[in-house]
Structure 1
């Protein structure tokens, strides 16, 4: 057999192991150092936005206008006007702190039980969170002097401070948990300390290198800060899995009596090839995000492609070099108890026996189960989650938000009209601004206050218009539509350029852009995946089966996400509650990630089935042989992915919970229901038709799935005998 690319790379690395190992370490260190010196450039608010709201933010950014960090202090009394003694004391405390640039006249609610003191923090709004604590302390002391009222603070800086503290704590815990989890699972899988450490070490170094390179790339294309977390998640998941598949095959060949060199070459030619095909498929799926037309997804695409590419390179170069260097010493640190108990053969035999005996029934039941899980996805509603949806509902910050919004509807999160004119102080423009203010004040769809700021030097004006409702309900959406479609065009038509932004406007525009882009992304990913599977396996049924099975996995994941996070069914299991929506960027992101990651198992399992078939085994026995041979590796790989993703489901922020739970559920279903039940059942039903390729496609290149030829006779006494034999 002619060696494939993976076999040649593995062979070269094994022969030049010092060069491969030290070259890898040099590459990782260089990438980390260069990335650290370059620093990462993050997306601006204008780059994240799209449509009308994105244009509004870009006008402000181009003019150099930074909205000040605004804080609000709510003083609530049980009796009408019971706050009168406390409000002057609170206002004085804010001024005396020395951190407030502007303190506005207090607003009084309609029932006269609440007063709202608003002020802007002095200095750069980007660093306001670092300076707000003295103000919070002063407000708290003033409130303590008036036990008859409730005093609460909420705003840009206090909210950012809460986010920074919470997210920093969450991500530190996630990073400290994910790696030990992966190591512990590998320890159970291999029952040897060194064999468990090697995949984690390769995956971590791949992540570090990719993180450094992402910092360099970010100077040409800015990325969102969460891209690093996504990169860690993907890097650990695929990096460990690729090494696991490779190492398990090498250990399996040694157990069957191959000498060390032959075992390594077979692992490179088979599992190494599967890693290349799988990695290429994952990267192509990630590339679909470039068609979204949004820089957030393009940053995610670059981050995931980088870490997967480097993980693939490490798996087919430095890993075989390490295995060649270590030999059977990779079993160092054996744990005898785990060696005796680690076999999963009995479990998978019990699962496969009825599936292969009644493949039609098994396929129907598995498909029905996945479709039932996917059913809630038909009612999926997406939006840019607001603060009260993102934060746990028992957090003090979110309780304050609700109290302010109840007393002063729309106050915490108003719409913002941005006006750009050649002369913003011209009489016609000033009259248009007054016209909009009067229309908003007279309408019952908007709250108080309607506030205007004019930036004469930049010829820009901003008009803050609170929306009635809770910020995203039908009342708020109708108010935004009225503002955009009637009031703004009536006031500024032919007078000046005017655009509307704000959280709800951003969410609306984001969803509109997603609806336009999701079809091209889906078509691209499905088409390219089909072509890659067709070239890899020279079979139309295999390629079509991969598409259908992956769509079932994604649909089931969508359904679980909607049921848990939109409707709240079982949300308490992950410490959250239903928020009525799925974060707007998640459906597209989850689709491309799951479609890519599902190919890990599909390529690995089907390659083993095809390998057995190419060696003369009929299809049905080949399916059974391939599933049983890969069951242990797939089980371990799936448990690692589920564990890593589930760690993100424990974070405080709702969008990370949705991502972590959605991905972990999907991988769990994919590795069990899909790969262990539906795939063998469908392939058994198709029989020899699995390998159908029409004559007009016979020109496709032939890629062998068979092992490399052995260099020792089969009768040679085994050089390596595992402890559990």
Structure 2
């Protein structure tokens, strides 16, 4: 691999105009295609084949108005008044009439029909049923529904329009998320001491991200890609794109400071640091593609979208960056008086060397202290609760959040997410009469189940054999009690089918979300096994060691557990909630664990490779095990520190989003990188290697014969050219040839 990338680096350096033209042409073509076709994002989360989804599809066939997504209009009379007063009643009826004729609305169910009027007569809840699913509802239709509240408001009523139809409509990335890029630029300037060098990783990363993002937007016409997947791709594209070019550029500048010829340095930087970049990128791609083992289509697409972005970032780092290095030429050589040049000439131990010496002086103490700290951080993870977010997590002040809070206060939280029960009586014993009797009994029995607030009588549909009941839980849609109730109703349905032949299926938006969360929770352990297995195999091949993969895997699991603990403390317990803008504590988005494990796995392996590769290289050249750590690890300290700070800054920028899906994921990634880079990779890794000594690099002979040999350290690169030839090539580059 190192030799191939060495030749690619020199080719890209020499043919820099060709490479730059190819990238610009690709960007222009994809952006033009996106400009013409636009995007077609799909915000629906579902599991095809699940009971709730099958029943919902059936309900859409027999009763489109009931099978589509629903909205709510909440009416509240002034204190001391009732909605039944003539003026208020007239205003409410006018609003309901306009809502019934609003675009895409299939039916409006007034409060009197469902009995959703408070005992004091001040507050009432009307249901608005759309004939289509949530992604098919146009934004203009939602605006029209909001406008229907005008007659009621003119009559003096307070109205709130909300419901499931106002769920996530896409993530909007604003100016605050650019803060992470600004912080990344500052870190790069401090790292390189040069604006030209600092700008190259940003230009390369943003160029690669623009190509990947435009391509993904075009693919939304073919695949169901959500805005959350796009946001994840943006986070990853920026973070790894900057980091990968940082690793290569740092090696290039270090070689230039030692007097290496420019083209040779570009090739060797790509053959050494570039090999680690390709390998690290491969681990991220494999981990993200591994999301497909979960078996949930929207999560598979999310993982593949991120993987595409990482692939493009690696391509940009290995082709576009060497081309830019060719254009920059000797202008990237650190000035003799610069801090970068002094660092290469200095015999004084740098901060990284001093840190490594401190952590390896008493390695056992370092390991015990580091592991204990991570275990303490992970303690809250035992209380991790998962669910898909509802409007209770919407931003404060939004119409859907106000409607949600009003309904919860007036009727109970369960009215924000009622369950639909589709009853199939085609095989009912006793025919139509037996079916009617059985459904009456079903409604009565369901009211007695724990956690049930209300049950409506069976309602007929266009099909003679299908009827619908609405069950209102006593708990919020994302509460554990609601999940338990869904399973209780299904257990009860099994008994109904056995005794009467009537089939009951629980469906609706809340039931679909419960099924998605249950599927994700059940797949967490198998997915973790896949990720851990990949970690062991990949590192076993790279470092040809048993201790290194085992250590890396345990460190990764500790980082993940600590990140889970921090998420629970902030998003469930409310620690620092006001500082981070968390508007409601409770369960976090159900696919956070698998996303965190997939992304953090790849990033952790990045840092593992860059830290351990230097140590392994020193040891491979015949150095003492402990001396190899002290000589090889400090070289990665500065680069890994800068890379981690950039990652943290980019992810932290997305914590500012008022989105219940992206915010906890971004926070978990930022905290996970913080812990993994600084506690695990740069503290525990050197300490563990120092503790085990030469045993860290032991591998059974039979296993060594089986494993392929992968050169990511540049051992197979050709020897350096003679000084005279090198000087001649440098003169050519300086003249711009």
Question: Residues 485 and 545 of structure 1: is their aligned pair in 2 closer, same or farther, counting only changes over 3 Å?
Answer: same
3-state SS of the aligned residue for 2:160?
strand
Q: Which of 658, 665, 671 is the aligned partner of 2:664? A: 658
Alpha-carbon displacement from aligned partner over 1:402-447 (angstroms, at most 9, x marks no partner): 2212322332210012345769996665555554445446768534
Q: Deviations over 1:580-614 (max 9, x none)?
A: 32221101111111011111111112112222223
Q: Evaluate the alpha carbon distance shift between residue 62 and residue 628 of structure 1 in structure 2; reply closer, same or farther with a 3 A threshold.
A: farther
1:223-302 matched pairs, under 5 angstroms: 223-302=225-304
Find 1:172's aligned residue among 168, 174, 191: 174
Question: Cα gap change, 1:108/1:373 in structure 2, threshold over 3 Å: closer, same or farther?
Answer: closer
Q: CA RMSD in A?
A: 3.7
- Which of 190, 193, 196 matches 2:192? 190
Rounded to whole Å, the distance in 1 between the matches of 2:317 and 2:138 is 45
Aligned to 1:120: 128
1:579 is paired with a residue whose SS is coil
Aligned to 1:401: 404
Q: Are the aligned partners of 1:46 and 1:54 in contact in 2 as well (CA < 8 Å)?
A: no
Q: 561-570 vs 114-123, which deviates more?
A: 114-123
Q: Is the 8 A contact 2:417 2:476 kept in 1?
A: no
- Alignment check: 8 A CA contact 1:193 1:333 kept: no
Per the alignment, residue 54 of structure 2 pairs with 55
Superposed CA offset, 1:105-134 (max 9, x none): 544645324331415378867335423445
2:281 touches 2:314 (CA, 8 Å); kept in 1? yes
Q: Secondary structure at the match of 1:580?
A: coil
Shift of 1:228: 0.6
Cα offsets for 1:115-161 (capped at 9, x unmatched): 31415378867335423445545635644653xx654343345x35x
CA drift of 1:579 comes to: 1.9
1:13 is aligned to 12
| Equivalent residue for 2:378, pick from 363, 371, 374 | 374
1:309-360: CA deviation from partner (whole Å, max 9, x where unpaired): 1111221122112212321234799998999999997543443332122222
CA contact (8 A) 2:455 2:469 kept: no
Conserved? CA contact 1:246–1:271, under 8 Å: yes
In structure 2, relative to structure 1, the CA distance for the partners of 1:341 and 1:188 (3 Å cut) is farther
Q: TM-score, normalised by structure 1?
A: 0.87
Cα distance change of structure 1 residues 627 and 248 upon mapping to structure 2, 3 Å threshold:
same
Instruction: Check if 1:687 corresponds to 2:688.
Output: no
2:160 counterpart of 1:152: yes
Q: Which residue number in structure 1 is paired with residue 595 of structure 2?
A: 589
* Mapped contact 1:14–1:321 kept (Cα < 8 A): yes
Q: Tell me the SS of whatever aligns to 2:128.
A: strand
Q: For residues 4 and 155 of structure 1, do their structure 2 counterparts lie closer, same or farther at Cα, with a shift above 3 Å needed?
A: same
Whether the 8 Å contact between 2:416 and 2:477 is mirrored in structure 1 is no
- Please give the alpha-carbon distance, in whole angstroms, between the structure 1 residues aligned to 2:631 and 2:47: 49
User: Which residue does 1:208 correspond to in 2?
Assistant: 210
Which residue in the other structure is 2:387 paired with? 383
Q: Is the 8 A contact 2:657 2:663 kept in 1?
A: yes
Query: CA-to-partner distance for each residue in 1:537-565, whole Å, 9 max, x for gaps?
Result: 11111222211111111111111111211
Cα deviation per residue 1:631-684 (whole Å; 9 max; x = unaligned)? Answer: 221121111110110111111123322111111011111221112211111111
CA contact (8 A) 2:261 2:726 kept: no
Query: How many Å separate the matches in 2 of 1:654 and 1:702?
Result: 45
| TM-score, scaled to structure 2 | 0.86
Of 600, 607, 618 in structure 2, the residue corresponding to residue 601 of structure 1 is 607
Gaps of 5+ in 1: 721-725
Residues 625 and 459 (structure 1), Cα distance of their counterparts in 2 relative to 1, 3 Å cut: farther
Q: Which moved more, 1:583-592 or 1:185-194?
A: 185-194
Match of 1:554 among 560, 571, 574: 560
Matches within 5 A, 1:615-634: 615-634=621-640
Question: How much does 1:478 deviate?
Answer: 5.1
The more displaced of 101-110 and 553-562 is: 101-110
From the superposition, tell whether residues 122 and 594 of structure 1 become closer, same or farther in structure 2 (CA, over 3 Å). closer
Contact 2:228 2:661 in 1 (8 A): no
Q: Is this contact kept in 1: 2:95–2:151, CA < 8 A?
A: no
Structure 1 stretch displaced more, 265-274 or 577-586 = 577-586
Counterpart Cα distance in 2 of 1:679 and 1:475: 43
Match of 1:70? 71
Question: 2:220, 2:139 → 1: CA distance?
Answer: 25
> Shift of residue 519 of structure 1?
2.2
Question: Aligned-pair distance for 1:276?
Answer: 1.2
Q: Secondary structure at the match of 1:317?
A: helix
Moved more, 48-57 or 667-676: 48-57
Cα distance in 2, alignment partners of residues 210 and 716 from structure 1 = 37
Q: Greater CA deviation, 541-550 or 658-667?
A: 541-550
**Equivalent residue for 2:141, pick from 131, 136, 140:** 131
- Does the CA contact (< 8 Å) of 1:49 and 1:506 recur in 2? no
SS where residue 421 of structure 2 aligns? strand
Larger displacement relative to structure 2 (570-579 or 710-719): 710-719
Q: Secondary structure at the match of 2:658?
A: coil
Matched, 1:307 2:314: no
**1:514 and 2:520 correspond:** yes
Q: Give yes or no for the alignment of 1:530 onto 2:536.
A: yes
Q: Whole-Å Cα distance in 1 between the matches of residues 26 and 500 of structure 2?
A: 58
SS at the partner of 1:4? helix
Distance in structure 1 (CA, Å) of the matches to 2:522 and 2:96: 49
Shift of 1:62: 6.4
Measure the CA separation in 2 of the matches of 1:551 and 1:468. Answer: 37
Match of 1:723 in 2: none
Deviation, 1:463, is 2.8
Gaps of 5+ in 2: 732-737
Q: Which stretch shows the higher mean deviation, 221-230 or 632-641? A: 221-230
Q: Separation in 2 of the partners of 1:540 and 1:195?
A: 38
Please give the alpha-carbon distance, in whole angstroms, between the structure 1 residues aligned to 2:129 and 2:664.
34
Q: Which of 171-180 and 434-443 deviates more?
A: 434-443
1:528 alignment partner, SS class: helix
Q: Aligned partners of 1:426 and 1:211: how far apart in 2?
A: 56
Deviation string 1:161-205 (CA, Å, 9 cap, x unpaired) is: xx54xx65x522355444444334323332323322222222222
Q: How does 1:449-488 map to 2 (within 5 A)?
A: 450=456, 454-456=460-462, 461-473=467-479, 476-477=482-483, 479-486=485-492
**What is the aligned partner in structure 2 of residue 355 from structure 1?**
359
CA distance in 1, matches of 2:209, 2:250: 22
Match of 2:173, SS? Answer: helix
- Say whether the 8 Å CA contact 1:73–1:151 is kept in structure 2: yes
